[in-house]
Structure 1
Amino acid sequence: MKFLSVSTSAPRALLSLRVAGWLLDNPRLRRAAMAQRLAGQLLKQPARRGVVEAQSRLGLLLCQHCGSHRDRRIGQEFLRQAARAGDPRAQQALTGEAASFLS
């Protein structure tokens, strides 16, 4: 008798995505540095695994709220990946970012 291995990463990724979304969408919490840091940690694994919404949210978070060039570069790459997958929020962020570099 063979046993099928059940992956628990998909439900965990969905839960972390929902919690991170709640932290970033909550008007009171979204400005807190600790909430942003926690949301970033929650989004990191799903974004690396290719979850488009996580890539978009993490890319925006890194580009808008992190001061280092390294974090900004990583955020731009996540935004590019999400935009290639068709995420409108990432596409808008990249075109707006390109316009801000030109002016």
Structure 2
Amino acid sequence: MKFRSAPVSSSSTPPPVAPTKRFSMRVAEWLLDSPHLGENRNVKHIAGRLLKQPAREGVVAAQSRLGQLMCRECGNARDRRIGQDLLRQAARAGDHRAQQELGLIED
């Protein structure tokens, strides 16, 4: 018995991934803003990993938070430089937190 299925067209678009981005952003912000969890180094690492992909895709809030996290918490110069680049991108997009953080860093 043969089953007929609808032909798969090459022009079909994949479903949007925006809800996943928003979810990972919300979880990361919750982790960082939580009074007890936000102080833990491992939690900061997890939040940074959650922010990484949205920041690469140009989400300004993710760029700002990840940039702040990298500038404040990372011990090596390479990560701090990447954090400053993320803050500059977010500041150019109009993020006030990033602009303030850059002002503190560059003064």
Structures share a fold, TM > 0.5?
yes
Aligned residues: 98
Residues of 2 paired with 1:36 and 1:91: CA distance? 22
Residues of 1 paired with 2:83 and 2:13: CA distance? 36
Identity among equivalent positions (%) equals: 56
Residues of 2 paired with 1:63 and 1:4: CA distance? 38
**Mapping of residues 1-103 of structure 1, within 5 Å:** 3-7=12-16, 9-99=17-107
CA RMSD of aligned residues (A): 1.2
**Runs of 4+ displaced beyond 2 Å:** 1-5
Where does residue 4 of structure 2 map in the other structure?
none
Please identify which structure carries the higher helix content.
Answer: 1
Task: Normalising by structure 1, report the TM-score.
Answer: 0.90
Task: Normalising by structure 2, report the TM-score.
Answer: 0.87
Residues of 1 paired with 2:88 and 2:40: CA distance? 26
Whose Rg is larger? 2
TM-superposed CA distance for 1:96, in Å, is 1.1
TM-superposed CA distance for 1:5, in Å, is 2.6
Residues of 2 paired with 1:5 and 1:24: CA distance? 32
Question: Match of 1:27, SS?
Answer: coil
Counterpart code for 2:39: R
